[in-house]
Amino acid sequence: MGKKKSRELTQEEWLEQALVPESEWPYKVPGNWVWVRGEHIFKPMTSKKPEGEYFSYIDIESIDNLNQQVNKVKKLKVSDAPSRASRELYEGDTLFSLVRPYLMNIAFITEEFAQSIASTGFYVCRPTSILNNRYLFRLMTSNYVVNGLNSYMKGDNSPSIRSSDIQGFYYPIPPVAEQQRIVDRIESLFEKLDQAKGIIQEALDSFENRRAAILYKAFSGELTKKWREENGVGMESWETLKLRQCGNWCGGGTPSKSRKDYWENGNIPWVSPKDMKSMYIDNAIDKITQTAINESSTRLVPEGAILIVVRSGILRRILPIAITRTQVTLNQDMKALIPKGINAKYLYWLFVSKEASIRTKCAKSGTTVESISSKLLYEYEITIPPIHEQVQIAQILDDIFDNEINAQTLMDAIEDVDVMKKSILARTFRGELGTNDPIEVNEIFEM
C-alpha cells in the first residue's frame, strides 16, 4: 500500500502553528503586527550543483561583515568545487551565517550575485509573499535577531547555530504596506548616516595616511638622521629583535564571577578590550580585589607595560595598543609586554606603526582577523636603535601627534553611527517608527 496522503491544514490550523501565542511574545508590538515562527515565513532552501567549467562561489570570506554585503565572489573551477558549495541563490534572498552569528556575516543578494552558489555555512532566508525582502534583510541584521540566534550557538572550534534555530525563531511581522514604509524610512535614514560615516572615514584615512608616513620615517631612521650625525652614530647601531626578546610577556584571566569577594569594592583595574581607547591606561570599567589576584589566573601588570588586544572583533579594523600608568590586571583577551632595556613609548609607537602588519602576519590560522596568535606575535621581528635614539624618536613622535586629533576619536564617531543604526532598527521592529497604520490588516490572516 502507498503512503497515506497527509491532510491539508485548514487556515485556522495553519495559523495556530505559525503564530506565536501572546504569552510567548519576546516583546509587545502594535495590534496589527504578529509574531511568527521562521519556518512559516521562509521558503525552503534549495540546492544547486556547480555546472560548466567555472562557477561563482560565496563563502564566509566573501562577506563584508562591517557593511553586511557581498564583497567578493570567488571564481572556482567546477572540478575544484568545495563539498559545501550547494546553496542555490535568488535575487532578494538574505544570507545569514550559521557560524559565529555575532560576527554578522549577513548579506542581501542583489541581481549581480543571484546566479552564484553559496556555502552550506549559510542559511538562505527566502521570503514568502507576506515578507518584503528588504524588510527581512534589515530584520536579520537587528540586535534582536543576531543576539537571539547567537544564544543557540554551540561548539568550541567553530561555534555555530543550526538551520532549525533560525526556523524556530520568533519574528515580528507587520502588514506588507507597513513593511514597505519601514524599508523606505530605514534606508532614507541609513543613507544620511552612511554619508556622515563616509565623511568621518575620509578624515580618518587622511589622518592615518599622514601618521603612517611619519611613523615610516621614524622607524626607518630618517626622522633621526640629523640626530645621529650630530652624535656620531650610524644605522649599524640598530638591531633586529623578536618581540619575545623585548621583555617579559604575560596574559590575563577572569576571576570567577560567582565570587563576590573578587569583584565587590575592588580597586585594581581589570582591563579588557573595551577599555583600550587611548594611549595610556590608568583605569578600567571593571575592577577586582587583591583576593581575586591571589586566587585566580590573573596577575598584576606594572606601570610602563605595553598592553595589546589579542582577541576581539575590533581586530578586523585596528590593533588597540596602550601603555599602563598604574598597576593593572588583564582579562584573557589581552597580553602585556613588560619592556626590558627598551623605552616603553618607543615600543608603543612601533606597535602603532606595525599594527596592520601584525594583524595580518600574526592572525590565528583558520579564523578571520579576530584573534592574534601569541606564538606568531612573539616571533614578530622589529628594529631597535640604541636607548638614547629610542628616547629621541619617542619624543619627536609625541611632539608631532600631541596636538593632532586622535584616531580613536574618529573611530568612536564611526562607532556612534553604527550604534545609531542599531537603535533605529530596535525601534523599527517594535513598531515605534511612527509609520504604522492600525487599520491595515496583516496579510498572514489571508494565507
The residue count for the chain: 447
Please give the DSSP secondary-structure letter assigned to residue 85. Answer: E
| Residues lower than pLDDT 50 in the chain | 1, 368-369
Residue 388: Cβ within 10 Å count:
14
Cβ proximity of 35 and 18 under 8 Å: no
DSSP output for 220-270: TTSTTHHHHHHHT--GGG-EEEEGGGSEEEEE-----TT-HHHHTT--EEE
Helices and strands per DSSP (H, E), number in the chain: 12, 22
Residue 227: Cβ within 10 Å count:
15
d(Cα 15, Cα 368) in Å, to the nearest integer?
42
Burial of 274 from C-beta contacts in 10 A (0-12 / 13-18 / 19+): middle
| Helices 176-219/133-140 angle, 10° precision | 50
d(Cα 158, Cα 80) in Å, to the nearest integer?
23
DSSP output for 321-348: EEEESS-BEE-TTEEEEEESSS-HHHHH
Burial of 229 from C-beta contacts in 10 A (0-12 / 13-18 / 19+): exposed
Beta carbons within 8 Å of 243's beta carbon, 6+ residues apart: 249, 337, 377, 378, 379, 380, 381, 382
Phi, psi at 145, each rounded to 5°: -75, -50
In the chain the domains, ranked by start, together with CATH numbers, are 11-174+431-446 (3.90.220.20), 239-384 (3.90.220.20)
d(Cα 206, Cα 130) in Å, to the nearest integer?
46
pLDDT of residue 1: 47
Question: What would the grid cell of residue 288 be?
Answer: 577586582
The owner of cell 562591517 is 66
d(Cα 24, Cα 169) in Å, to the nearest integer?
12
* Alpha carbon 197 to chain centroid, angstroms: 17
Query: Nearest 10 degrees: CA dihedral of 36, 39, 43, 48?
Result: 150
pLDDT of residue 63: 94
Alpha-carbon distances of 161 from 24, 99, 126, 165, rounded to whole Å: 22, 7, 18, 7
Q: What is the pTM of this model?
A: 0.65
The owner of cell 626590558 is 340
Instruction: Return the bridge partners of 355, or none.
Output: none
Query: Nearest 10 degrees: CA dihedral of 201, 206, 207, 213?
Result: 140
Q: Are strands 334-339 and 34-37 parallel, antiparallel or unpaired?
A: unpaired
d(Cα 384, Cα 126) in Å, to the nearest integer?
56
What confidence tens digit (pLDDT) does each residue in 333-343 have? 999 999 999 99
d(Cα 203, Cα 197) in Å, to the nearest integer?
10
Helices (H), 123-233: 133-140, 143-150, 163-168, 176-219, 225-231
Alpha-carbon distances of 326 from 21, 70, 276, rounded to whole Å: 55, 45, 14
Residue 311: Cβ within 10 Å count:
17
d(Cα 309, Cα 192) in Å, to the nearest integer?
32
What confidence tens digit (pLDDT) does each residue in 257-294 have? 889 999 999 999 999 999 998 889 999 999 999 999 99
